[in-house]
Amino acid sequence: MGHQVEVDQAFVQAPEHRPKTVISEAGGIPLIDLSPLFSDSAGAVVPVTLVQQVEAASRDWGFFQVINHGIPPELLKAAETTEREFFALSEEEKKKVRRDEVNPLGYYESEHTKNVRDWKEVIDLVLHEPSEVDVRGLELKNKWPQVPPGFRETFEEYGKSLEKLAFRLLELIALSLNLPAKRLNVFFEEQTTFIRLNHYPPCPYPDLALGVGRHKDAGALTVLYQDSTGGLDVKRKSDGNWVRVKPIPNSFIINVGDIIQVWSNDKYESVEHRVSLNSARDRFSIPFFFYPASHTNVKPLEELVDEKNPARYDEYNWGEFFKTRKDSNYKKSEAENIQITHFKRV
């Protein structure tokens, strides 16, 4: 008998959701070069080929990877280094910025996805702190750690840079739906975007647990930076197999979320993904969740709806949706998390 590892059942996935040992890496998610957006000759015109690439990737995969995106590699390195330093602190130090019932921001280590505990610890930051307490009684104030030094400056700069990139991607998505480039920008004037730092420690039973269980992202776009360990698996639409996303240095992984699925009236689909664990290596990642204003009512865009293609969703309020979703991630609940399918017209 080998060494028996004590398995905490809270982390154990149901057999059908456990990671399989063989995951295809062939035919991975599309890689898109954004350098045409930054060339002098580009002017105000976005090349048609770039829009077509975004359209095909959003339609066929719901995911793509971008390079030459205008964010300096030094900033990515600083963000990853600072993140590693924060998670290397003692539990006592990290808990100084722990989240609580009133303020969902800060450090925590007990998130549930689909009612199974995730093998990870995180710290959440909002991009723009609202000036008053949220109408739903949530107080969104960033809990900035005092150590490592420079944490706040690094992530404020990171947030500003990522916001610019997110708007460029949003404009590419709008163009790919044959809409004016800035059609969707209005929803983000009082955005509720947040940045999460994830640390997935090595796991002694990677065949039973997941860093994050299978899920779809609720927001508009997610812009993810990941380190070289890898572990992000995307469910391939063509055959339902899980595909591992290969880490490419200084790249971002982009996925369209539920809100874009609804706006596009199902032309684009928010795709299931998860994080598999590694028994030997830590994994660090930084998702930037691009979210509209909490007062936004989300429904299929009128330009994309007609008699032949009627609206497939009822309208729902983003702030209400997100609060319900957040509450069930924080506490294990018997009911399934709220999903956009609850607003789907039959």
Residue 86 to residue 74: CA distance in whole angstroms: 18
List CB contacts of 122: < 8 A, sequence separation 6 or more.
107, 108, 109, 111, 196, 197, 198, 199
Choice among 145-159, 194-208, 249-263 with the minimum mean pLDDT: 194-208
Residue 17 to residue 80: CA distance in whole angstroms: 30
Residue 283 to residue 299: CA distance in whole angstroms: 36
Residue 7 has pLDDT above 60, yes or no: yes
CATH code at 20-343: 2.60.120.330
Reported as a single tens digit per residue, the pLDDT across 223-271 is 999 999 999 999 999 888 899 998 999 999 999 999 999 999 999 999 9
Entry pTM: 0.91
Extended strands (E) in 150-259: 194-200, 212-215, 221-226, 232-235, 242-244, 252-256
Residue 31 to residue 68: CA distance in whole angstroms: 11
Reported as a single tens digit per residue, the pLDDT across 282-325 is 999 999 999 999 899 999 999 999 999 999 999 999 988 887 77
Instruction: Name the DSSP class of 14.
Output: P
- Which has more confidence, 9 or 223? 223
Amino acid making up residue 69? H
* pLDDT, mean of residues 105-132: 85
> Pairing between strand 273-275 and 232-235?
antiparallel
Helix (H, G, I), strand (E, B) or coil at 77: helix
Residue 104 to residue 289: CA distance in whole angstroms: 15
pLDDT number for residue 241: 87
pLDDT number for residue 328: 56
Residue 1 has pLDDT above 50, yes or no: no
